[in-house]
Amino acid sequence: MIAALRNSAHRAWVVLMVATGLTWYLGEVGAAGTWAIVAMLAIAFVKGRLVILDFMELREAPMMWRVLLEGWLILVSSLILLAYWISLK
């Protein structure tokens, strides 16, 4: 098991599974409120970043590609957070 975690894709997969389980748990127990929404959005952001960097293999790619995709992820996450914030009014 430990030898398998030397590969960054394997480590990313484990983190993705744990993060998915945590998100499922938050939804299953009916976590509500701003803290739960922000936590789930943060988890989704981390998962998206792991997919971009490890599974799309952009960790060693030219800076332009990383900035483009991570910028897209930041933009979408920010817009979702903004929409939630506006809905609270």
User: Is the model's pLDDT at 57 over the cut of 80?
Assistant: yes
Angle at 69 between CA 65 and CA 72, to 5 degrees: 145
What is the distance of C-alpha 6 from the center of its chain? 21
The total domain count for the chain is 1
- Domain residues for the domain of 66 are 3-87
Report residue 41 as tokens.
């959005």
Q: What's the confidence (pLDDT) of residue 6?
A: 81
Average pLDDT taken over every residue of the chain = 91
The mean-pLDDT minimum among 25-34, 54-63, 79-88 falls in 25-34
